Structure 1
Amino acid sequence: MPIHDLGYRGWQGDRMATLLRPWVVARSGISLVLRRRWLRTMLMLAWLPIVFPAFGLFAFEYSSTEPDLQRVIVRMAAGPLNQPELASQIIDDHDAARHQVWSTLILAFFRYPQLFAMVILIGLIAPMLISYDLRTKAYLMYFSRPLSPSQYILGKSAVIWFLLSMIATLPAFLLYLLGVLLSPDFSVVTQTWDIPLRILAASAVLMIPTTSLAVAYSSLTVESRYATFAWFTTWAMGFVAYQVLTSASAVMASGSMRPPRGRRGWENINFDFDRWRLLSPYHTLGKVQSWVFGLDTSAASVFPAMLVLVAVTAISFWVVRRRIIARLSV
C-alpha cells in the first residue's frame, strides 16, 4: 500500500451551485484587477464624459421655457448629432421629441467616449486574463476543483463585463434617471419606459462580442503583449480600412477628384455607406446599437452586422474552449 497516494481523488469540499461557479472565478479576477491604482483612476475618469449628454438632457428639458437653451439643443441636434429633422421636431413638438432626444444622447455616450474607453480598458486588462494562467499553469488550480472549461471562460469574461458595466451601463442608467428628475413630472416614464431596456441591450451588444474576442486573443499566446498588440491592431486597422475604402468609393461615386466637404456634401452622394462597415468593429457595433435604440430602422442592413457579432462571439468561445481543453488533455 503506497504511503503517498498521488492519484486523482474525488472532490470532498462543499460544492457551489453550478450556475454560481463562474462567479468564483470572476470574484477572484475582479479583486485582483481592482488592486491596481491606475485602473481605479481610469474607472473614475471614464465617468467624466457623462457631463456632455447630461448637459444635453438639461438643455432639452428646460428648452420649452428657456429660448436660449432651446437654441442650444436645436443647434446640437442639427450639428454634432446630424439630425436636422429632430431639431425641427424639438421646435414643433417638444414632448413628442423627448424619446428620440434621450435615446440619441445616450447612444452618443455609448458610441464615442465610452467605446474608446472600452477599447483601452479591455486592451490593458483582458490579454492577461488567460495568457497569464497558461504561462504560470495557474489554470491547474482552477480545474483541480469541479469547474468546467465553459464555466472558467464565463468567469474570466465576467471580469471584463463588470468593468465595462462600471464605465458604460451604470453611467447610462444615471443619465436616464437624471432625465426623469429634470422632467416636469414623472409621467415622462410612460414615454421613455423602454430606454432602460435598450440600455441593457446596447450594453450586451458592446460587452459580449468584444470580451469574447479579447479573451480569445489572450488564450492564443502565453505572452500578453502579443494579445494586446492583436487587440489594438484589430480596432485600428478596421477603423482605418473602413474610412479609406468608404472615402475612396464615395469620391468615385461623386465623380469628383476631391472628397466631399461637410456633412451635406456626403449626404448628397447616392452611396451605400454600409458596404465596408463590417470591416470595422467600431462601425459594426455602432450600427447594431443604433438599431437597438430605435434610431436606425433599416433592419435589412442591421442583420449582417448582427450576424458578424454573433459569429465573432461563437468562434471566439470555441477557440478559447478548445485551447483550455487541449491544455487539460496533456
Structure 2
Amino acid sequence: MKIAVLMGGTSAEREVSLASGLAIVKALRERGHEVWTVDTAAGYVPQDEESDLLPGGVKSAPPESLENALPLIDLAQVKELRGAELAFLALHGGDGEDGTIQALLELVGIPYTGTGPLGSGIAMDKDVTKRLLRDAQVPTLPWRVARAPEFTYDPDIIEDLVGLPCVVKPSRQGSSVGIHIVSEASELEAAVRDSAQYDTEVMIERFAKGRELTVGILGDQAFPAVEIRPKKGIYDYESKYTPGMTEYLCPAPLEEEVMAQVQAYALRAFKVLKLRGYARIDFILAKEQLFCLEANTLPGMTATSLLPKGAAAVGIDFPELCDRIARLAVR
C-alpha cells in the first residue's frame, strides 16, 4: 500500500509526534508498504532527510520557530499525500488531533487512520468528553471549567464540588502540557493562569490519588490495561518522555473483574465519544472505584508507547499493530 505518514506540525507536541511518525514509517516499511514522510508544517521529507527530524536534527525545529509553516490548504496539494492510498496520522495535539486535518482529508478524498472530525473534536475537549461520559454512566471525576478571557471561577463551588487538592490543566491539550496539582486555595489562581497559556479553557478537576491505568483499543478489541507508575507522583510531560521516570506494568496487576470492568468502560467510552479505528482511554483506580479521565484519539506510537504495550500483551508486535491500524482504516 502507498502510505503517507503525517507527523510534526506546529502543536506543543511536535517532538512527540515526530518520534511517533518516524517509528510508524520504519514499522510500515518493514511490513512491505511504500511509505512517504510528510511533516504537516513543511511538506514532504525525502527518505535520506528523515534523520534530520530526530531530536537535535535540522528539521526538528520547535513549534515557535516554524514561522513559515505550510498552510493546511497547501498541505492538501503535497504530491506525496495526494498520491497516497492512505494517510497514517502520527500527529499529536493542535490541528492533527482536533479534527481539522481529518476534515481536510475527507474534503480531498484521502482515507486516513483513526477517528473522524467529530469524534476528534469531542475527545480533544475534556469538558465535552466528561459530559458525554457522565451521560453514558462511565464514572468521571467532578470538574468545572474556567474560560477566556477572564478565566473566572467561583472559589466556593470549586471547594464544595471539586475539593482540594485538585488538578488544573488545559481543557484541549495533550501530553500533560500545562498540568498542575493544587493543594491550597491560594495556589489556584496562579495554576489557572499558567494553564491558560495553552488554551482558552482551563479545567479544574478533583484530584484522586490512586493507580493510573490506560486501555488501548483497536477496532472493537480492548487490550489489557497498562498501569502507569510515575516516580515523582504525577504523570506530567517530564515523566512521560524522560527515560526511567516512569514504570509501566502490562498487563496491569488487577483482579480479573477489575480488568474486565476497565476494559468495558473503555469500549463504552470509545463508542459514546464517536471514536473509530484505534484510541487509548485513561483511567484512575481510586479506593476501588474506577474513574475515566480522558480519551486519546492519536496516542503515542513509538514501540515503547502505551498502546503498543497493550497490543504486545496479546501478541501483536509494533509493525503488525501499525499494519492492522492501516488496513482497518482502508476497510
Give the TM-score, by structure 2 length. 0.26
Give the structure with higher Rg (CA): 1
| Structure with the largest fraction of strand | 2
